[in-house]
Amino acid sequence: GQNIDQPTEMTATEGAIVQINCTYQTSGFNGLFWYQQHAGEAPTFLSYNVLDGLEEKGRFSSFLSRSKGYSYLLLKELQMKDSASYLCAVRDSNYQLIWGAGTKLIIKP
């Protein structure tokens, strides 16, 4: 079966750095995506990785290792507004998106 694993919840301090991990087992791989979802709101696209390595976009970076079936989302200089759920999704060999259950990130002052 296809599976995406993420921690259910994480807590971090304002101004700090946090890394949210995602491991996957899917039928093929055609890219990995990270979305942010604030409580009661729609998911919004954050990043896309298809090749190994780090993609940086402002305070957010996403890393991929295809051989390990592993990705992480790195958030720097945390702000209170970063409190949200972060969803990892993998596009499989049929180009279907397989979604993780999301990681709820709590930022404390």
Partner 1 sequence: IAGITQAPTSQILAAGRRMTLRCTQDMRHNAMYWYRQDLGLGLRLIHYSNTAGTTGKGEVPDGYSVSRANTDDFPLTLASAVPSQTSVYFCASSEVLDTGELFFGEGSRLTVL
Nearest distance in Å: CB 11, partner 1: 19
Sequence-ordered list of residues with C-beta below 8 angstroms from that of 36, at least 6 positions apart, any chain: 43, 44, 46, 84, 85, 86, 87
**Among residues 89, 103, 105, 107, the one that binds partner 1 under rule CB under 8 A:** 89
- Is residue 45 involved in binding partner 1 (CB under 8 A)? yes
- Is residue 7 involved in binding partner 1 (CB under 8 A)? no
Phi–psi pair at 87, nearest 5 degrees: -105, 130
Q: Which span sits near partner 1 by CB under 8 A: 12-20, 21-29, 71-79, 92-100?
A: 92-100
Give the integer Cα–Cα distance in Å for 99 and 64: 16
Which one, 69 or 102, has the nearer CB to partner 1?
102
DSSP letter at 82 equals: G
Nearest distance in Å: CB 109, partner 1: 27
- Is residue 17 involved in binding partner 1 (CB under 8 A)? no
- Is residue 106 involved in binding partner 1 (CB under 8 A)? no
Strands (E), the chain: 3-5, 9-13, 18-25, 32-37, 44-49, 53-57, 60-65, 70-75, 84-91, 97-99, 103-108
Q: Which span sits near partner 1 by CB under 8 A: 11-19, 36-44, 57-65, 68-76?
A: 36-44
